Chain A
């Protein structure tokens, strides 16, 4: 049977759908929101590291490839509610506002992705208590000319451009206290990118990054880090942001300057929390409905991390992208293509 269900209309799902359609498969793409593009679209990501390329240059063609392909049927505002049958004949119930229908598919691709970690649980950072403590995803929206502030970094409390900005790394990542000991794999480069964007737009604004390790392993990331220090004078301080307080309308942070061995207090106008990735509700729900294995953090577990990275614990159900663990946009697209190849060879 040459029909494939793709769950999730983020970059991974879009790429997988397009590649499968190009190979002649009939694809149904189910997306719970009324737009495509997943978290990238939801938070209006503006530029992509390390090339500072506009997101629209990448996302628009990926969406257009899907919407213009007659082999792909896009179900927006839809979710799956039940699964029966086995490979290669799955019966899946798809629900939208009009009702529920059952369709038959030869294979299923789960590309339900991630959600940004909600820093409210890290109470010591004051997110959701102090207006000017924001997340990196919120900063993407602020820096986007199509966002709520038309691209100006206006701080939420009074709309002023901050003169001193601190960025906290590893919020909700590498942290046993919140149950996420893993690395988010994107926070370092995203923060470096945002620091450069801020310095480019507001050269007088001081930007401080509080970090434990700068993990610049991706293509061009280390060079971007060097550029941030050398060309933009972003100040990187080795020590994890520990606490935020508000005194007389002034944010104050505590950290340890671990290289100089001294605790420090620092008054700033705005704090950006580099919130990591967490498996989204959609991923957890899909795993439950489809009956596929998750790892201890809730991400989907491949059948074999090395030998069958895109196969789930159940034959005929495939997994790809950030629902398997934290991932950047560039590699989500690679995953989308990889899973398409695996699905095609399994349905032959």
Chain B
């Protein structure tokens, strides 16, 4: 008997549809509202700010989910979906009322959960660290002029005296007179925030993408634990005394 000759494309679709990632995405409640077939008209791509500059196509996202090819989905979760700016232009223009942006949002959550996002998000490590340790994500120091050529030559001038400018702008707001973060939150506020992340499991989730950041945050918490927990107890006592 001669060997069976298979069409490589057909085989690919048949053999992988309905894989694990596909099922995980499809069972999310948002997908039902976000995918109603696709006319392949390209309206989403034409309106998409990300598609104009990066390797990303909202139409491909919809088509991929209709086809359900596991390999393609995995590939997308590792890279392309992270190019979406989440502006939702596709949703408000699609003649079928699909929302590639919602599909991407769902896929991103699953990618994080399934450990597929680390490489795509590596560039965000600094931002994540600042959020987890200082409570805000962007600092004037991070906006170096050479990284933002589109902001023009004025950017170079402004960045050379950012501290002076902030002092002038935020007179009487000492928390704002910093350039290594957007504003200085109080230690107690940051500690409370970190506790919430720990208790809610958010920190653990962050660990699937930035494992070493979890240690940094835990160290950060450990340093002020004694002082902060005492403050929390005092606060509790005060509330109890007030009869609340």
Q: Does A214 belong to the interface (CB within 8 Å)?
A: no
**Which B residues from 25 to 78 make CB contacts under 8 A with A?**
39-48, 51-52, 57, 59-60
Residues of B within 8 A of A264 (CB): 46
- A175 & B95 in contact (Cβ 8 Å cutoff): yes
Determine how close the nearest CB of chain A comes to the CB of B180; give it in whole angstroms. Answer: 39
Residues of A within 8 A of B40 (CB): 212, 258
Q: Does B96 belong to the interface (CB within 8 Å)?
A: yes
- B94 & A177 in contact (Cβ 8 Å cutoff): yes
Q: Give the interface of B toward A (CB within 8 A).
A: 39-48, 51-52, 57, 59-60, 92-97
Q: A124-B93, A174-B95, A258-B59 are in contact. Are A212 and B46 (CB under 8 A)?
A: no
Q: A174-B39, A212-B41, A239-B42 are in contact. Are A254 and B47 (CB under 8 A)?
A: yes
Residues of A within 8 A of B45 (CB): 256, 258, 263
Q: How far is the CA of A243 from the CA of B46 in the complex (A)?
A: 8
Q: A242-B47, A243-B47, A261-B57 are in contact. Are A255 and B42 (CB under 8 A)?
A: yes
Residues of B within 8 A of A256 (CB): 41-46, 51, 59
- The chain A residue with its CB closest to the CB of B98 is A176
> 16 pairs across A/B with beta carbons < 8 Å?
A170-B95, A174-B39, A176-B96, A176-B97, A177-B93, A238-B42, A239-B42, A255-B46, A256-B42, A256-B44, A256-B51, A257-B42, A258-B45, A261-B57, A263-B46, A263-B52
Residues of A within 8 A of B95 (CB): 170, 174-177, 240
Q: A254-285 interface mask toward B, CB cutoff 8 Å, 1 = contact, 0 = none?
A: 11111001011000000000000000000000
Q: How far is the CA of A255 from the CA of B96 in the complex (A)?
A: 16
Residues of B within 8 A of A257 (CB): 42
Residues of B within 8 A of A174 (CB): 39, 95
Residues of A within 8 A of B94 (CB): 176-177
Determine how close the nearest CB of chain A comes to the CB of B102; give it in whole angstroms. Answer: 16
Determine how close the nearest CB of chain A comes to the CB of B178; give it in whole angstroms. Answer: 41
Determine how close the nearest CB of chain B comes to the CB of A245; give it in whole angstroms. Answer: 12
Determine how close the nearest CB of chain B comes to the CB of A237; give it in whole angstroms. Answer: 10
Residues of B within 8 A of A261 (CB): 57, 60
Q: A164-176 interface mask toward B, CB cutoff 8 Å, 1 = contact, 0 = none?
A: 0000001000111
- The chain B residue with its CB closest to the CB of A173 is B95
Q: How far is the CA of A309 from the CA of B68 in the complex (A)?
A: 41
Q: How far is the CA of A177 from the CA of B91 in the complex (A)?
A: 10
- A242 & B93 in contact (Cβ 8 Å cutoff): yes
Determine how close the nearest CB of chain A comes to the CB of B93; give it in whole angstroms. Answer: 7
Determine how close the nearest CB of chain A comes to the CB of B66; give it in whole angstroms. Answer: 15
Determine how close the nearest CB of chain A comes to the CB of B72; give it in whole angstroms. Answer: 14
Q: A175-B95, A177-B97, A261-B57 are in contact. Are A240 and B41 (CB under 8 A)?
A: yes
A sample of 20 more A-B contacts (CB under 8 A), given A174-B39, A212-B41, A261-B57, is: A124-B93, A170-B41, A170-B95, A176-B94, A176-B95, A176-B97, A212-B39, A238-B42, A239-B46, A240-B95, A242-B42, A242-B93, A243-B46, A256-B44, A256-B51, A258-B42, A258-B45, A261-B60, A263-B42, A263-B48
Q: How far is the CA of A256 from the CA of B51 in the complex (A)?
A: 10
Q: How far is the CA of A120 from the CA of B60 in the complex (A)?
A: 30
Q: How far is the CA of A77 from the CA of B199 in the complex (A)?
A: 76
Q: How far is the CA of A243 from the CA of B45 in the complex (A)?
A: 11
- A254 & B46 in contact (Cβ 8 Å cutoff): yes
- The chain A residue with its CB closest to the CB of B96 is A176
